Amino acid sequence: MKLVTSAFVLFFVVTFAIFSSAATSKEVSYKSGDETVHGILYTPEGKGPFPGILVIHEWWGLNDWVKEQASKLTDQGYATLAVDLYRGKVATTPELAHEIMRGVPEDRAKRDLHAAFEFLKSQPNVRKDRTAAIGWCMGGGYSLDVALQEPALTADVINYGHLATDPESLKKINAAILGNFGGQDQGIPPADVNKFAQTLKQMGKTVDVKIYPDAGHAFENPNNKGGYRAQDADDAWKRTVNFLATTLKK
């Protein structure tokens, strides 16, 4: 009886592992100007084509948490490309993260993001007319930059990233915008977030911004021990999932 039970448990575990690992991932490379850059491409099971999402890391670099977000989005039915703006470097301390981030030229980062966008669209199982970008912290700001420089982008998710304020720049945005911000974020005050949203609305753009009153910067990342807000993070994730489904799967 114990042998039968053990065999059943083993069968269940193996079966669960097979069906819970729907997404496949592979390291990819593509040209950015004269340089070759790398990323990780996650693809859902099935034939496709799938909507595509650029996933842009925080100031820590392309670490396990960002890879997890890319994989979770792929489980929702999207082909995701986790970009690496740090050329393989990953920070483990705030001091190192700050140093690496400052060492990345802004024009190079934008060039890398354009290259990533073109690479993602070139995949035969990706819908060229249904693309999005998402980022957190530094990546949230760069996610907005993707919307500013890629008129074909369908949707854009900004999680506590820097915001453009120049109306002439904001006019370039065609993508629907979703923003999640912390009311206690010292670097991105609520007044700036509200002004950003109001300006876009006045221009007739599609924008949905939420400010979580008790949250600070990086409240969605559980590795942020002092600032993680589980309830707010869960709500922000649900908003993101619903927003992407509405804009990319319609």
Q: 190 preceded by cis ω (within 30°)?
A: no
Mean pLDDT computed over every residue of the chain: 92
- CA 100 from chain center: how many Å? 20
The answer to whether residue 3 is domain-embedded is no
| Tokens read off for 21 | 């690992």
| Tokens read off for 136 | 């957190």
- pTM score, whole prediction: 0.91
Q: Are 222 and 191 in contact, with CB atoms under 8 Å apart? A: no
The answer to whether residue 15 is domain-embedded is no
Strands 79-83 and 35-43: antiparallel
The answer to whether residue 196 is domain-embedded is yes
| Tokens read off for 99 | 């140093």
Q: What is the pLDDT at residue 94?
A: 96
Q: Which CATH number covers residue 100?
A: 3.40.50.1820
Domain around 232:
22-248
The answer to whether residue 232 is domain-embedded is yes
Whole-number Å distance between alpha carbons of 10 and 22: 19
Could you report the per-residue pLDDT of 147-192, keeping only the tens digit for each?
999 999 999 999 999 999 899 999 999 999 999 999 999 999 999 9
- Total domains, the chain: 1
Q: Is the dihedral of CA 25, 26, 32, 37 positive or negative?
A: positive
What is the DSSP code (8-state) at residue 104? S
Q: What is the pLDDT at residue 22?
A: 62
The answer to whether residue 182 is domain-embedded is yes
Could you report the per-residue pLDDT of 32-85, keeping only the tens digit for each?
999 999 999 999 998 899 999 999 999 999 999 999 999 999 999 999 999 999
The answer to whether residue 138 is domain-embedded is yes
**Average pLDDT value for residue range 187-199:** 97
Q: What is the pLDDT at residue 165?
A: 86
Q: Are 86 and 1 in contact, with CB atoms under 8 Å apart? A: no
The answer to whether residue 2 is domain-embedded is no
The answer to whether residue 90 is domain-embedded is yes
Lowest mean pLDDT among 7-11, 106-110, 210-214: 7-11
